[in-house]
Amino acid sequence: MREIDEQAPRQTTQECPRCGSHLALVRFTFRDRKSGRAIDTDSRESLFWSVLALVISTLLLNVLLPSLNRDEFGTSQFAGPLPVWTPFVLAFVVLVVLEARRVFRLESAIRVQTFRCRSCRYRWDLGQR
Ligand SMILES: [Zn+2]
């Protein structure tokens, strides 16, 4: 795993190509090797989808499904624990799958140094090998 604290912007001595200032901030970003798109380095997006899966499946199983199937629901032996625990299992599976995919993509990603000049706010990248 890579160090997480590398994500915080840091002071650098890199010279700005536009105004020549040496007051630039640097941060590391990760780009997909094929598409060149930035990859998240934290779990926020995975957590978001996990919570969304939890909320939606809870609504479906506990509100929508009972209202569609009023007569039989509640007589089934699964009626108690299933609608309560299924959303948590689903949310956990969503979280694990998304996190695994993100870590896998990060492992093969290109690490890019992104600079931002503090004088003129110019941004530029410096790819690392
Ligand atoms: Zn500048």
> Which residue carries 């997006």 as its tokens?
45
For residue 28, pLDDT over 90 is answered with no
**pLDDT band at 27, cuts 50/70/90?**
confident
For residue 5, pLDDT over 60 is answered with no
CB within 5 A of ion ligand 1: which residues?
Answer: 16, 18-19, 21, 117, 119-120, 122
Distance 10 CA to ligand 1 centre (A): 16
Q: Tell me what the mean pLDDT of segment 80-102 comes to.
A: 89
Residues 127 and 101 in one domain: no
Residue 98 lies in a domain: yes
Distance 3 CA to ligand 1 centre (A): 28
Distance 5 CA to ligand 1 centre (A): 25
The count of structural domains within the chain is 2
Distance 24 CA to ligand 1 centre (A): 8
Distance 13 CA to ligand 1 centre (A): 12
Distance 116 CA to ligand 1 centre (A): 8
Residues 73 and 15 in one domain: no
Q: Which domain holds residue 114?
A: 1-32+109-129
pLDDT (0 to 100) of residue 4:
45
For residue 123, pLDDT over 50 is answered with yes
CATH classification of the domain holding 15: 2.20.25
**pLDDT band at 80, cuts 50/70/90?**
low
**pLDDT band at 75, cuts 50/70/90?**
low
Tell me the HSE value of 15 on the side-chain side, using a 13 A CA sphere. 3
Q: Tell me what the mean pLDDT of segment 52-76 comes to.
A: 76
Residues 97 and 113 in one domain: no
Average pLDDT over all residues of the chain: 81
Residue 37 lies in a domain: no
Residues 50 and 87 in one domain: yes
Element (H or E) spanning 116, and its range? strand 110-117
Residues 69 and 125 in one domain: no
Lowest-confidence pick of 7-16, 17-26, 69-78, 87-96: 69-78
Residue 124 lies in a domain: yes
Residue 69 lies in a domain: yes
Residues 61 and 101 in one domain: yes
- Is residue 80 a contact partner of residue 55, using CB atoms and an 8 Å limit? no
